[in-house]
Amino acid sequence: MNAPLVVRDPMFDFDETTPVQWTPACPELATAANAVSVLMPYLEPYFVRITARAAETTAASDDERDEVRHYLGQETQHQRHHRAFNRALIAHYPRLRWVESTALRWYRSLERRRSLGFNMAFVAASETVAYAIARWADRYHRHRFTQGNGAMADLFVWHLAEEVEHKSVAHTVYRHWLTASSPENSPPRHRDQFRYFGAATLALISLGVLSTMAMVIMLIGQRRVFHPLALARLFWWSLTLFFEVVPLLVLSGRRSYDPGQMLDPPWYEVYLREYDGPTRFSSPG
C-alpha cells in the first residue's frame, strides 16, 4: 500500500454488554486477539510519544512529516477503540486489570529508562511484528475474521489493515533519527544494528509474555485452560506465527531493508477501500 495514509474514525459502539467471543466457530482466535487488545491502550500511546519525539529531531520533508502525523492519528484511533472494547473484556474477566497495570508500568519504565534511539528501535521493530501478524492473519485466518460477529471482528481487521498501510512510517523515522544522530551524517554503524536487534528481541518477548498472561486469564475464565483442542490450536498458531515474525524481524535489521518494497496482502487494501466508500462498520451483534 503506497497511497497516502488516512486517519479513519470507525463508528464502533462498545460497552460492557458487548460479546467478547466474536469467533464462535473458533473461540481461541478471539481469545488470542483479545489478549493483544488488552495491551493496545498502553502500547499505542507509547508508540505515539516516542515517534513524535524522534520525528522532531529529523530533517524530514513536508510529505514525510504529514505521513508521520497521519500515522500518529491512526495509532491514536487504534488505542481509543481498543480501550472501549476492553471495557467489555474487563467486565467478563476482571483479572485482566492486572495485565493492564503491568503493561502500563512496563512501557512507562521502558520510555523513562532507555534512550530515545533504543525506544525508537523498539517502536520500529514492533511495527514490523504488527505487519508480520497482519500477513499471518491473512494467510491463516482471513475467513475466520470475515465470519466473525459484528464490530468486534471489524475492529481487528481494521487495525490489521492499517498496520499494513503504515508499515513503513516508524522504520523511516528510525532511519532518519539514525542519520541525524550519527556524526557527520555517517551511515548506520554496527552498534546501531545491535541496538535494533536488542530492541526487536525485547519487543517480541514483551508482546509474547504480556499477551500470554492475558490469554491464560481468559482461558481460565472460560474453563478451557486445559482443553486439548484449545491448547493444540494455540500451539500451532504460535509456531506458525513465530516463523512469520522472526524472519521478517531479521530482515528488517538490514541496512537495505525497505518496508515499502514488501508485497502486501491485497485483501486489506480492498477492505479499507470499502470502508472509505459507502460501507461502514456494523454494530456489535
pLDDT tens, residue by residue, 167-223: 999 999 999 888 887 765 555 567 788 999 999 999 999 999 999 999 999 999 999
For 74, residues 6+ apart whose C-beta sits below 8 A from its C-beta are 5, 7, 8, 162, 165, 166
pTM, two decimals, is 0.92
Residues in the chain: 285
The full set of domain ranges for the chain reads: 27-276
Report the candidate in 156, 224, 149 with the shortest Cα–Cα distance to residue 10. Answer: 156
Q: Which three cell numbers stand for residue 233?
A: 490450536
Q: Which pLDDT belongs to residue 285? A: 33
Q: Which pLDDT belongs to residue 148? A: 62
Across the chain, what does the average pLDDT equal? 89
CA distance 77 to 53: 19
What is the average pLDDT across 55-62? 77
pLDDT tens, residue by residue, 119-132: 999 999 999 999 99
Q: Which pLDDT belongs to residue 151? A: 83
Q: Which pLDDT belongs to residue 58? A: 77
Least confident of 47-56, 108-117, 255-264: 255-264
Confidence bin at 284 (pLDDT 50/70/90):
very low
Are the C-beta atoms of 50 and 111 separated by less than 8 Å?
yes
CA distance 173 to 184: 18
Q: Which pLDDT belongs to residue 59? A: 62
pLDDT tens, residue by residue, 80-107: 999 999 999 999 999 999 999 999 999 9
Q: Which pLDDT belongs to residue 281? A: 44
- Does residue 274 surpass a pLDDT of 90? no
H/E/C letters for each residue in 173-188? HHHHHHHHHCHHHCCC
* Alpha helices per DSSP H over the chain: 27-56, 62-92, 96-113, 116-146, 150-165, 169-181, 190-222, 228-252, 266-276
Q: Which pLDDT belongs to residue 220? A: 96
Q: Which pLDDT belongs to residue 12? A: 86
Q: What is the CATH number of domain 27-276?
A: 1.10.620
Q: What percent of the chain has pLDDT over 70?
A: 91
CA distance 29 to 15: 21
What is the average pLDDT across 143-166? 86
